[in-house]
Chain A
Amino acid sequence: MKKEVNKEQILKSVTKMLADKELVRSYMKGKTSKQSLTSKGIKFAKPL
């Protein structure tokens, strides 16, 4: 890896991963707007 791993950064990244998931789940239930996801930097993919 190019840079030294920082514990706080990992914690922040993992927490964001979890938060993103909950926001997308809420979106898929129709409880959150797509704009809310976009504002958090969440990008959908079409890998199939």
Chain B
Amino acid sequence: MQNRYNFVFDDLTNTYNFATKNDVLYRVAFINDETFSTISGEEIPNVFQLIVEKSNDGIEPYDSKVSKTIEDIIERFFNKIENSLIFVCSDENEKAEKRHEIFNRWYKKSKYREIIIKIDNVISVKTEDNTTQKIYTSFMFHKHNSNFQKLLEIYSQFEKMLNDEK
């Protein structure tokens, strides 16, 4: 028996979809991310933001096949070596830090960690009401990505600039 679900690309929603044994529909989207291009002033292609969402709000019992399926999608994404991925943890219900930890644990257990590098940035941002919001981000790229030095340089600027009080 497979340890993951089969997924299909839905042309209507432009997302990769799979349904679980508990009848929960998951959608996985990749959107073009122009953050690196905007910040560097150069065209940096093949950078995408990964977004995973359930189509309904209910709580689903733990299902190990869900993470295995998402892992499979990510692994296939990196079949193209020049692709890179940015993941931002949602702060819904103030759980961004917890989501970041879960994503990190998942990566550490993943078999693709030997070829896919993950770098984390926790960025502190002052909000309009003068409180500080932490944004948990992860950036992933193939270890043979020919552009990796440039990508890392840009990504490191996120944290360096935004966390610098001066």
Contacts and interface: CB of A to CB of B under 8 A. Distances in A.
B77 A48 contact: yes
Contact of B157 (A2, A10, A18, A25): A10
Contacts of A22: 90
A28 to B, nearest CB: 4
Interface size class of A (residues with CB under 8 A): 20 to 34
B125 A1 contact: no
B49 A44 contact: no
Interface size class of B (residues with CB under 8 A): 35 or more
B57 A3 contact: no
A15 B162 CA distance: 11
B142 interface: no
Interface in A1-41: 1-3, 5, 7, 9-11, 13-18, 20-22, 24-25, 27-30
B20 interface: no
B31 interface: yes
Given A5-B39, A7-B161, A14 B125 contact: yes
B35 interface: yes
